[in-house]
Structures are given as C-alpha cells and as structure tokens.
Amino acid sequence: MQAIFLDTETTGLDPYSHRLLEIAFKVVDVSSGCEKLTYQTIVKQPLEIWEQRDLASIEVNGFTWEKVQLGKEENIVREEIIHIFTDLKIARGSSVYICQNPAFDRNFFSQLIDVYTQEQKNWPYHWLDFASMFWALQVKANGETGDSFPPEISLSKNSIAQRFQLPIEATPHCALNGVEHLLLCYRTVVGFDGNRKR
C-alpha cells in the first residue's frame, strides 16, 4: 500500500476564485515507511490571479509576486504529476492520500488534474485526514483506560504535535515543510508496520 502525503499552498481559501501556488507530496510505502519519491514545485500564476489573492492566506505562506513567477506553468505541473503517478502505479485500492486538510487540498489538486481524468486513471478517491486518525486513536485509548473523553480537544496538526513533544510546523508555511511535518506526526502518532502504535 502506498500513501501520498500531500500539501498545498494557494492564493486563498476558495477554490472557485483562488488558485494553487505550490504543491508537494511524498509517496511512502505504508508497510515499511520507506519514502519512494518527493515532489515539490511552485505553480506559476498570471497577474490577474495574483491580484485576487487573499492577503491573510499570503501572510501564512509568505508568497510574493516574484516568487510566484519562479514557478512552472499549471499544464507542466499537471503532466509531471501524471507521469509520476503512472510510474509509481498509483491506483485505487493500492494507494491513498493523507493530508492535514484533505477537503482543501483535494479541491486545489483537482484544479490541476480534473476529477474525470483522475477517475479515468483509476487514482484513489480516499483522501484521509490526520486529525481523524488521532481522534480514533484517542477514542480507543480512552476506552481501554476507562478515561472519559475530554470536553474540549484541539485537532490542529500543531496541537497534536505538541501533545507528542514534536516541533510545530515552521512558518511561513511551504508545501514541502507541511508534508514533512505531517509525515513526522504520522510516524509518531500512527506509525508504520515497523513501528506501529499498539
């Protein structure tokens, strides 16, 4: 089984009016935790897209117009990802996506590669989120110890990281840092077959 740990940075929160600025992912063998491939690129956008950016989002990811211009055109990024997924035999049933916020990342990923193309190529449609994994493990642990579930719980990746004495994600955010931090949290909280949490 392969997991695609994926993160994006964008011009804003709304996939109907904002666009992708950066995408990164690592393809990892779930049995061994071995990293098979790392991909990261800035995605170039025209000035009219940049001018519609959400300033709060840009403050989080630190992008500038000059940095955006260093990126690759969307069609090139699209073909590179298709080529990688084909080479690695990414397919439904043998691969899943794992993200911090899959609803967000999936929408922007689909700007690059439309859902009909993804379907035609039999790519996975399961986008798993790390917070739900932590939630399930917490429920199970509380059931085993007889502890009551806390009245409040933060499910942000940084909050979960701090709970396990891990560093928080560096700022400003970049997609590859997001992927690496997600993978660190996953290895610690969930684990792979070689270091599975029991």
User: Could you please report the per-residue DSSP string of 100-136?
Assistant: SSHHHHHHHHHHHS-HHHHHHTT----EEEHHHHHHH
Q: What is the pLDDT of residues 64-75, one digit of tens each?
A: 999 999 999 999
> Domains in the chain, start-ordered, CATH in brackets?
2-190 (3.30.420.10)
Mean pLDDT computed over 47-69: 97
DSSP state of 23: E
**CA–CA separation, 162 vs 90, rounded Å?**
33
Q: What pLDDT is recorded for position 110?
A: 98
Answer whether 111's CB lies under 8 Å from 22's CB: no
Helices 130-145 and 175-189, axial angle in degrees (round to 10): 20
Between 102 and 144, residue with greater pLDDT: 102
Burial 143-172 (b: 16+ CB within 10 A, else e): eeeeeeeeeeeeeebeebbeeeebeebeee
Helix (H, G, I), strand (E, B) or coil at 20: strand
**CA–CA separation, 45 vs 71, rounded Å?**
8
DSSP state of 35: E
Residue 197 has pLDDT above 90, yes or no: no
Q: What pLDDT is recorded for position 159?
A: 96
Residue 167: is the preceding peptide bond cis (ω within 30°)? no
Residue 198 has pLDDT above 70, yes or no: no
Choose among 130, 127, 110: nearest CA to 118: 110
Answer whether 173's CB lies under 8 Å from 12's CB: no
pTM greater than 0.85 (yes/no): yes
